[in-house]
Each structure stands twice: as C-alpha cells, then as structure tokens.
C-alpha cells in the first residue's frame, strides 16, 4: 500500500503515493526524474545524494520519502536561477572543482549549506564541512578553491 506525501521540490509542489520503504533519493530520481542527485554508496558515507530539506543539507539516501512529507526540498537542479548559475556552480567550473562530475551535485549542496551558516569560512572550515562527501577525482584541492571563490563572490553580491 502506498502512502500519500506532499512535497515541494525546487519550488514545485508534488503529491504522490509512495511505498513506505522508498528512499527519498529514489523518489527524487525514479518518480520525479531528478537524476542530478546520485547514489554512491549504501552506508550514508559518500554524500553524492546530498540535497537540502527545509534549507538544511541532508543525505537523501538516509531519509525515507515519507519523512519528507510537507517538506521543501532543493536539489542540484534547483540551484541555478534560469541561466544564472549559483556562485558555487560557477566556482566549481571556474576552479576546475570537478572531473567526472558524479560527486559534484552533493558537493555543491553541502557547500551551499556551509556558506549559508558561515559565509566566510577558512580552508580548515571548508574541509571540515565537506568531510561527509567523497570525491575520488580532484583530491579536494580545487573543490576548496571553488568554495572560496563562491564565498568571495557571494560576499560581493550581498
């Protein structure tokens, strides 16, 4: 039997019957076809599935879809405003903060969470904030630079 949930994802309201055991990440990927959120592990360790639930970063493989009932969700697909990239998206491109791109959506969502709480983080604070997200390509060097780029850009914009 399905359970009905109402969620807002990237500003759009959805209502679906979901199997109670459905993980939020599978609901996003399979039902809403938002495949920018990735699955990299089965232990809540890699962070590739990171999204925002009511404005806070969460690993969507660690939540059931039913737990997201009445929540506002933002995924990577909701970060740009039209063709204007979010400063983090821009930073990842400008600083070569991605290679294969698989961890990138989760990295950007975790970084956005950091910058919302700490707009001017130190290198150590960035590294600490991203320790829940694996990247196997970049050695994190350019990811740190990308977050610094975005922090500077957002400070100017404010």
Partner 1 sequence: MSNRYIGKSIKRVEDKRFITGKGKYTDDMVLPQQTYAHIVRSPYAHALVKKIDISAALAIEGVVAVFTGDDIRNAGINGVPCGWQVNFKDGTTMKEPSHPLLVGTGDTIKHLGDAVAVVIAEDRNIAADAADAVEVDYEVKNAISNPFEAVQAGATPVHPEVAPNNIAFDWTLGNPRDEVDAAIAASHHVTTLDFINQRVIPNAIEPRVAIGHYDTTSEKYTLYTSTQNPHLIRLMMSAFVLGIPEHKVRVVGPDVGGGFGSKIFHYTEEALVVWASKQIERPVKWTSERSEAFMTDAHGRDHVTKAEMGFDKDGNVMALRVKTYANLGAYLSLFAPAVPTYLHGTLLQGLYTTPKINIDLVGVFTHTNAVDAYRGAGRPEATYLLERLMDLGALEMGMDPADLRFRNFIPPFDGVTQPGYQTQVALQYDSGNYEGVLKRGLEMLDYKGFREDQKEALKNGKLLGVGFSTYVEACGIAPSAVVGSLGARAGLYESAQVRVQPTGKVSVYTGSHSHGQGHETTFVQIVADKFGIPMEDVELIHGDSDTVAFGMGTYGSRSLAVGGSAIMKSIDKILEKGAKIAAHKLEANIDDLEFNEGKWTVKGTDKSISFGDVSLTAYVPHVYPEGLEPGLDFSSFYDPANFTYPFGCHIAVVEIDPETGKVKLKRFLAVDDVGNVINPMIVDGQIHGGLAQGIGQALFEGAIYDDNGQLINGSYMDYCMPRADDLPMFEIDRTVTPCPHNPLGVKGAGEAGCIGSTPAVVNAVIDALWSGGHQVKDILMPLTPERVWRAMQ
Interaction site with partner 1 (CB under 8 A): 19, 21-22, 26, 29-30, 33-43, 45-46, 48, 75-77, 79-80, 85, 89, 92-94, 96, 98-105, 108, 123-124, 126-128, 130-131, 133-144
Name which of 134, 117, 131 is nearest 49 in CA terms: 134
Q: CB 110 → partner 1: shortest distance, Å?
A: 10
Q: Residue 42 or residue 157: which is nearer to partner 1 going by CB?
A: 42
Q: Are 18 and 27 in contact (CB under 8 A)?
A: yes
Q: Residue 25 or residue 68: which is nearer to partner 1 going by CB?
A: 25
Q: Are 112 and 53 in contact (CB under 8 A)?
A: no
Q: CB 155 → partner 1: shortest distance, Å?
A: 21
Quote the tokens at residue 53: 């639930």
Quote the tokens at residue 12: 């759009």
* Cα–Cα distance for residue pair 135/117, rounded to 1 Å: 23
Q: Residue 52 or residue 138: which is nearer to partner 1 going by CB?
A: 138
Name the DSSP letter for residue 8.
Answer: E
Q: CB 18 → partner 1: shortest distance, Å?
A: 12
Q: CB 17 → partner 1: shortest distance, Å?
A: 14
Q: CB 7 → partner 1: shortest distance, Å?
A: 17
- 9-32 burial, b for 16+ CB within 10 Å, e for fewer? bbeeeeeeebeeebbbbbbbbeeb
Q: Residue 7 or residue 34: which is nearer to partner 1 going by CB?
A: 34
* Cα–Cα distance for residue pair 12/26, rounded to 1 Å: 18
Q: Residue 71 or residue 97: which is nearer to partner 1 going by CB?
A: 97
């Amino acid at each position: 039997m399905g359970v009905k949930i109402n969620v807002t994802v990237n500003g759009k309201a959805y209502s679906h019957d979901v199997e109670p055991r459905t993980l939020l990440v599978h609901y996003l990927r399979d039902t809403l076809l938002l495949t920018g959120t990735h699955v990299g592990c089965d232990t809540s360790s890699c962070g590739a599935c990171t999204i925002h639930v009511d404005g806070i970063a969460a690993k969507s493989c660690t939540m059931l879809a039913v737990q997201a009932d009445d929540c506002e969700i933002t995924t990577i697909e909701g970060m740009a405003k039209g063709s204007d990239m979010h400063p983090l998206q821009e930073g990842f491109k400008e600083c070569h903060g991605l290679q294969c791109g698989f961890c990138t959506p989760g990295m950007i969502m975790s970084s956005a969470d950091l910058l919302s709480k700490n707009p001017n983080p130190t290198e150590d604070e960035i590294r600490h904030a991203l320790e829940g997200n694996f990247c196997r390509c970049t050695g994190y060097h350019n990811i740190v630079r990308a977050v610094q780029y975005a922090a500077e850009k957002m400070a100017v914009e404010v």
